[in-house]
Amino acid sequence: MPKRIAEQATLVESVDKKTGRILVDIVTPGVGSSGYYSPEVCEAAAGLVTVGTQMFIDHPTDAEEMERPIRSVKDIAAVFTEPARWDPDRGEAGSLVAEAQVVPAWVETMEVIQGAIGVSLRGSATDIVEGERPDGSRGRIVEGLHAIDSVDFVTRAGRGGAFSLLESARPSRVNHRAVGHGLEEATVNDTREALQTTLRDAYAGDKTYVWVRDFDDSTVWFEVEGEGDDNGIYAQAYSADGTELSGDRTEVRVQTTYVPVTRPDSNTPTTEESQEDTMGKIQIEESEHTRLTEKAGRVDALESENATLKAEKAALEEGRAADQRRARAMDLIREHEHAFTPLEAKGLVAELPVKEGVLDEEAFGTQLAEHAAAAAQAKGAGTVTGFGQTTDTTKTTTESAAAPAKSAWGRSLSEKGA
C-alpha cells in the first residue's frame, strides 16, 4: 500500500508580478524528511504533476483532513499550467520543475514573503525501505513516488516534512501504549502533549525533529531525527506532569518480542514462563516493525476516510430524495381541486409520508382530502347561515317534522287570522 509523504522544497523563482507565473522546484534528489530520493525516483515522478494540479496555502491539519478530505477552494493559491518535467542541469543534481499560475489575490503577498516560504508536496510513495544510501549512511530510502496530491506553500520552519508526518502518525498508538503501562486514560493525551512540547524545546532545532514514541509514569522514550549527529532513539526521566526532564538522556535500541496469547477457552492455560520455556521468541528489526505499523496506520486512516465519504454521500442522497419528495408533494397540492393556501401547503409538506424512500402518494392524497374537507367545514359547508342562529340542515327529528310551520311573524300558519 502506498505510504503518505510530505516533502519540503524551496521556492527558488520569484513571482512575476505582471503575469503571476512562477517556476516551482517540486522535488530534488537527496535526503528529505521521508527518506532519500534518488535522481531516478525524482525523474520518474514527472507524470504525477499535470496541468491543473493545485497548490494550496499550508498543509491541512490532521483534524481538517479527517473532517474534510477534499480541500477548500478558498485555500487555492496557484495552479500548475504545464506538466512537470525533469531538468538534469538544474541545481546540484537536477530537479523536477513545472510552471504555475498564482491566483491574482495572492500575487502581491507572494512577492513580499517569497524569501520566507517554501513549497511542500503532499502525496504517497510506493514504498519506503531501510538501506544504504549513496553517501554510505543507512536510513530510509524512497523507492518511488505513487501520487502527488498537491504542492502547497508552507513556512520553511516546519509545516509538513518529517516533523508533521511522523508526529501526527502516532498519537493514538502512543497513548494506547502508555495506557498499557498503567497511566490513566483520561490524562494520557495531556501528558503526551506536554512531553512533546518539553522534548521539542530541549532537543529540536532547525531541521532537527523530535517526537514521542512511548512513555510510562516516569520515563519517556523519544526519537531525534535531523541533519546532526544525535539521530537516534533515547530514554529520559521526566516529572509527573511532563513539563520537566530530569537526568541525562540515554540512547536505546528497540527490540520487539512476540509471545503466544492465552485464550479463555484453552484447556491448558499458558503462563509467561511456560511460553518462554516451550517456544522461541520471534524478533524483528525495528525498521520492519516501523514499516508494518505505518502500513496499519494508513489502513486505519483510509477506512476512516472511506466511512466519512460514505456518510457524506448518504447525506447528499437523502437530501436529494427529500427535495424530490417535496417537489412531488407540491405538484399534488397544486393539482388538487381545493385551493390550499401557502401556509396550508407548508404545513402539509413538513411531515410527508414516505414509502421505500419516495413519497407515499396514496397516503398523501388521503391527507389532502381530509385537510380539504376540514377546511371546507370550517368555512361553513353543509349549514344554513344568515338567519340568526345557525341550524344544521342534516338534523331532523320527529318533533321538528310534526311542528306546524312558522311564518316569519312567529305564528303557526294554521292559526285563525293567518
pLDDT at 206: 66
Alpha helices for 7-113 (secondary structure H): 39-44, 62-67, 104-113
Helix, strand, or coil here: 180? helix
| Angstrom distance (rounded) from CA 293 to CA 214 | 14
Phi first, then psi, for residue 131 (nearest 5°) are: -175, -175
How is residue 320 written as a grid cell?
A: 436529494
Assign residue 6 a region (left: φ > 0; alpha: ψ between -120 and 50; beta: otherwise): beta
Which residue from 291, 287, 285 is spatially nearest to 127, judged by alpha carbons?
Answer: 291
Distance CA 37, CA 29 (A): 5
DSSP-derived letter for residue 118 is E
Q: Do the beta carbons of residue 120 and residue 160 sit within 8 Å? A: yes
Question: Do the beta carbons of residue 9 and residue 28 sit within 8 Å?
Answer: yes
* pLDDT tens digits, 356-406: 888 999 998 998 999 888 888 887 755 544 444 444 444 444 444 444 444
Tell which residue, 167, 165, 191, 164, has the closest CA to residue 178.
Answer: 191
Give the count of beta carbons closer than 10 Å to the beta carbon of residue 64. Answer: 14
- Please state, in angstroms and rounded to a whole number, the distance separating the CA atoms of residues 81 and 54: 10
- Per-residue pLDDT, 245: 93
Our measurement of the distance from residue 327's CA atom to the centroid of its chain's CA atoms, rounded to an integer in Å, reads: 33
Radius of gyration of the CA atoms of the chain, in A: 38
Q: Strand, helix or coil at 407?
A: coil
Long-range contacts of 337-340 (CB under 8 A, 24+ apart): 337/372, 338/368, 338/371, 338/372, 338/375, 338/376, 340/368, 340/371, 340/372
Which stretches of the chain drop beneath a pLDDT of 70? 1-18, 115, 156-173, 206-207, 227, 256, 261-289, 381-418
What does the pLDDT read at residue 400? 44
Q: At what angle do helices 171-180 and 185-203 cross, to 10 degrees?
A: 120
Extents of the domains making up the chain:
1-160, 304-378
**What CA–CA distance (Å, rounded) separates 294 from 287?**
10
Pairing of strands 76-80, 95-102: antiparallel
Say how far apart CA 262 and CA 70 lie, in whole Å: 44
**Alpha helices per DSSP H over 336-388:** 342-350, 361-378
Task: Tell me which DSSP letter residue 115 carries.
Answer: G
- In this prediction, residue 94 carries a pLDDT of 87
Q: What pLDDT is stored for residue 259 in this prediction?
A: 72
- The pLDDT score that the predictor gives to residue 234 is 94
pLDDT of residue 28: 86
pTM above 0.85, yes or no: no
- Model pLDDT, residue 17: 61
Cα–Cα distances (Å) from 101 to 16, 109, 169, in that order, read: 10, 14, 33
Q: What is the dihedral of CA 389, 392, 398, 403, to 10 degrees?
A: 30
Residue 259's contacts (CB-CB under 8 Å, 6 or more residues apart) are 272, 275, 276, 279, 281
Pick from 165, 169, 164, 171: nearest CA to 214: 171
